[in-house]
Structure 1
Amino acid sequence: MAAKGRGAPHPPGWWFRYVDDTHTKQKVEHVEEFIEHINSIDPDIKFTMEKEDNGSLAFLDTNTIRKPDGSLKINIYRKPTHTDQYLDLNSHHPNEHKLSVVRTLFGRAKSIIIEEQDLNNEMQYVSQALKKCHYPEWALKKGREQTSKPKSGTESKRVPGKAKSKGNIVLPYVQCTSEQLKRAFLKHNISVSFKPHKTLRQLLVHSKDKPDKEDICRLIYHIKCDGHPKDQCSMDYIGATERNLIARFMEHRRSSSTSSEVSRHIHDCKPGHAITMENVMILDHEPSWFERGVKDAIYIRALRPDLNKDGGRYQLSHTWDHTDDLEDPPSLPVGIKVGPSDKSS
């Protein structure tokens, strides 16, 4: 105990700490003296104090209650503002995430609550709260059964005859599709975990101002030729760049850019044709050099731009041959999408 080690005049009966919260037992007449002592140890660390109220003291999600005979019991603590709003069964999340809510709430009750009557009351309370979130009886029953099984220890036991896992992959969760992919990977002993594809925070919260289109870097872009007032043109080009978009765009527009197929088109093949930023679309944003090359190759394979002479610096396998018939850009699970509506940015 830190306080005892630093010479507290009257050390507490116990000192339980979790991060910056402590649960302490101290005699009433020594409380002020003890709080003054621990606040004198470090000028940059100051403690505040909350005393028990009507024989109970909340600590994290537990409520320690002192009974009339002096013994203690522990119940679950919920703030007055708690709404019992848990992950809804109808929400777009994997079933294992939803079942883990049931398992966690029941497991917390069984690991914290001491007295049987309090445990029964808590289990009934949790069941009613989960039913309001549309959890069926079979999900509640499964959660109770899983928390009733004794733990087998920290060491994992391999099942005889079961092949060793070849690794784990993380996929964005898309209902119905992700479950099928998981079953397919499990046949090859590859574990699958899911992550949200899009969250409300990603859609609604923007901690930084959105950069101008020209200033975005590490991206895959799509350039369409503006043609000429008397000569319409549908030629296009897809590329990837580490630098910001405007720097790469100016290279394509210069007549001296001999390595640019776009420059060769507008200056040599079709003099008078031009390109403008209004007809440049950012298909995706990817910080990783390798993955940016893969995405570039996928977009080229899917959209088949006229001015691209090859499939990009990454050679795709024949698995991607089916993308030849796609008319729209593929929806990739990572990066940002900037559509035509962002022309004014």
Structure 2
Amino acid sequence: MRGKECRRADVDRSKVSKGKMGRLFQRLIETRETSETSIRSILFLQDVGHQKVGTPMASPISVVLTEMAMQRYEEEVLVDAPPSLKLWVRCVDDVFVVMRKGEAEPFLDLLNGKNEAIQFEIEKEENERLPFPDIMVKRNGATLTTRIYTKGTHTNRLLDYNRCHPVAHKRSVVKTLWSRVEKVCSTDDSWREERSHFKKVFRDNGYPNSVVRRWTTQQPNVEIGDNRRYAPRVTVPYQEGASEIAARFPRKHGVEEVLNPETRCMEP
């Protein structure tokens, strides 16, 4: 990717018109102002503090406002980016950049000079490796390879198979983490290493080999576009042994049952 192409920011943009986006933004601002006292006040050690900068903490509108601000920030920054900028990939507030080493520091100054509230720090590759969220990127000449990355403090503790949780939740853990291996590992060697580590981790967390083999070899069944059908849902408390049997009845009538392990069925 050339620098001139990168300045156009290869990211998905909303197709909502500017007028509708402006009205949405105004509505979000009004919502924030009306709930400012309850959302932006912080209680810490019996002292009440007031947040003056940034979006409301723990508010659902903060995600929307932050993404809108970062997209606008990208458009302004990439216009002035140096031609040596080959790649710009952003994940929330983390950015992966490929450019010449000598221009990294001036580009960092450019990023931090656009907005005082948005300040970046730089982390350069070491031994041709650079971690990105959940991914370790390795440079082999002009080629980049990826594999799973976990911090040294990661304990490999997952939802134990012997815990009182719905079986569907335990299967979902296997499917989700295996899907990450399939998507992230870009070479056969890294895939085989992660597959071996994957099996060991689940074995240490009490998962039977049959469960791991079943959900790592099953092909995903995904319907794309307007063909998807959304069934009505009902949330019920979970009781081991009984809830799985009871879940069969609403399915016969096209209703999906969601088991909630945090709400227990209390005995009389």
Is the 1:15–1:23 contact (alpha carbons within 8 Å) kept by the matching residues of 2? yes
Task: Please state how far the C-alpha of 1:4 moved relative to its aligned partner.
Answer: 5.1
Is the 1:174–1:197 contact (alpha carbons within 8 Å) kept by the matching residues of 2? no
1:106 is matched with 178
1:117 is matched with 189
2:253 is matched with 188
Cα deviation code 1:128-185 (max 9, x no counterpart): 1101111111111111122x44755344467xxxxx95x2101121212211221122
Cα gap change, 1:156 to 1:127, in 2 (>3 Å):
farther
Aligned-partner Cα distance in 1 for 2:78–2:216: 43
Quick one: percent identity of the two aligned structures?
27
2:4 is matched with none
- In the TM superposition, 1:1-345 aligns within 5 A as 1=9, 2=74, 5-10=78-83, 12-67=85-140, 69-146=141-218, 148-149=219-220, 151-156=222-227, 165=231, 167-198=232-263, 331=266
1:219 is matched with none
Cα gap change, 1:187 to 1:62, in 2 (>3 Å):
same
Cα deviation code 1:174-198 (max 9, x no counterpart): 2122112211222332210112225
Amino acid at match of 1:54: N
Alpha carbon RMSD of aligned pairs, Å?
2.3
Higher relative contact order (CA 8 A, sep 6+): 2
Is the 2:84–2:100 contact (alpha carbons within 8 Å) kept by the matching residues of 1? no
Cα gap change, 1:185 to 1:198, in 2 (>3 Å):
closer
Larger-gyration structure (1/2): 1
More helix by share: 2
Cα deviation code 1:273-320 (max 9, x no counterpart): xxxxxxxxxxxxxxxxxxxxxxxxxxxxxxxxxxxxxxxxxxxxxxxx
Amino acid at match of 1:35: L
Aligned-partner Cα distance in 1 for 2:159–2:201: 11
Is the 2:85–2:97 contact (alpha carbons within 8 Å) kept by the matching residues of 1? yes
Question: Which contiguous aligned blocks of 4+ residues in structure 1 show a shift greater than 4 angstroms?
Answer: 149-152
Is the 2:250–2:256 contact (alpha carbons within 8 Å) kept by the matching residues of 1? yes
Cα deviation code 1:21-55 (max 9, x no counterpart): 11111210101100000100011110011111111
Amino acid at match of 1:18: C
Amino acid at match of 2:112: N
Aligned-partner Cα distance in 2 for 1:63–1:27: 20
Aligned-partner Cα distance in 2 for 1:56–1:85: 26
Cα deviation code 1:52-111 (max 9, x no counterpart): 1111110000000012x3321101001001111111100111111101111111111111
Amino acid at match of 1:17: R
Is the 1:171–1:192 contact (alpha carbons within 8 Å) kept by the matching residues of 2? yes
Normalized against structure 1, the TM-score is what?
Answer: 0.52
Normalized against structure 2, the TM-score is what?
Answer: 0.66
Cα deviation code 1:252-271 (max 9, x no counterpart): xxxxxxxxxxxxxxxxxxxx
